[in-house]
Amino acid sequence: MSAPPAPFPCPTLLFLPGTLCDARLWKAQQQALSAQWPCAVVDYEFADSISAMATNALAQITGLVIPIGLSMGGMVALEIWRQAAERVAAIALFDTDCGADTIARRMNRDTQILSAVHGEFHEMVKTQLVPAYFSIEHATDGAVNQSQRKTVVAMALDLGVAAFAAQITALATRADSWPLLDTIRVPTLIACGANDRICPPESHRRMAALISRATFMEISGAGHMPPLEQADTTTLVLQKWLDGLTLP
């Protein structure tokens, strides 16, 4: 009697950090999900384009993947679909922007790079990036767990100015991915913090409306970084969505 066929290999959850973030961004989610799914966190190294980041990510893992990206990581997830749709079993996009960069954003990025290279990197991260990342009701230092803020600063400082400059270049030169959305035929989670001031919920609702198999989730009490600010809720959202997937 012949042996039954081997089960279809489980896709790898490919966690894609946002700007100036590393594996610490997704630590809680990876720890919770790794018992059921193979997991990997992408290191962008010093890639200075979204395209190169996606290419590097695909090279780090074999087989099917489920890209899970926040902010810049969401842009990389969409680029992975553009480059290798046949390897994508599903996609999760958190707090991201699928459009090309705006002139205003580019001007602000230029200012940030100048500040960073002139020795003001730490101060810029602390006074500009960190306050923008968290929910408005958590804008004062006392409201949000200080370890979350320290994590954001530590990730940025560990990556450093060179990585920041490369990532800023990638963001400024990214392609417009709005036309890509209606080509996505795999299950897609579109999630965002209810109080995200960088990539607001209304944009995510529009994204979800253009993807045939999209699920939209809004995470209350979170701004631009739900995996840190509302770690348990973000994990539950991912877990529920993954549990509901029907994969080949």
Bridge partners of 9, per DSSP, are none
Cα-based angle 46, 203, 78 (whole degrees, multiple of 5) = 40
- Residue-wise pLDDT for 24-76, tens only, equals 999 999 999 999 999 999 999 999 999 999 999 999 999 999 999 999 999 99
CA 76, 81, 87, 91 torsion-angle sign: positive
- pLDDT of residue 223 exceeding 90: yes
Non-local (6+) Cβ contacts of 103 within 8 A are: none
Which pLDDT score, from 0 to 100, does residue 8 have? 53
CA 77 – CA 59 distance, rounded (Å): 14
Surface-to-core class of residue 17, CB atoms within 10 Å of its CB (0-12 exposed, 13-18 middle, 19+ buried): buried
Q: What is the rounded CA–CA span in Å between residue 180 and residue 56?
A: 20
**Of 18, 17, 20, 27, the residue nearest 125 (C-alpha):** 20
**pTM, to two decimals:** 0.92
For the stretch 141-162, pLDDT in tens is 555 668 898 999 999 999 999 9
What percentage of the chain exceeds 70 in pLDDT? 93
pLDDT at 106 over 50: yes
Asked if the model's pLDDT at residue 6 lies above 60, the reply is: no
pLDDT tier at 4 (50, 70, 90 boundaries)? Answer: very low
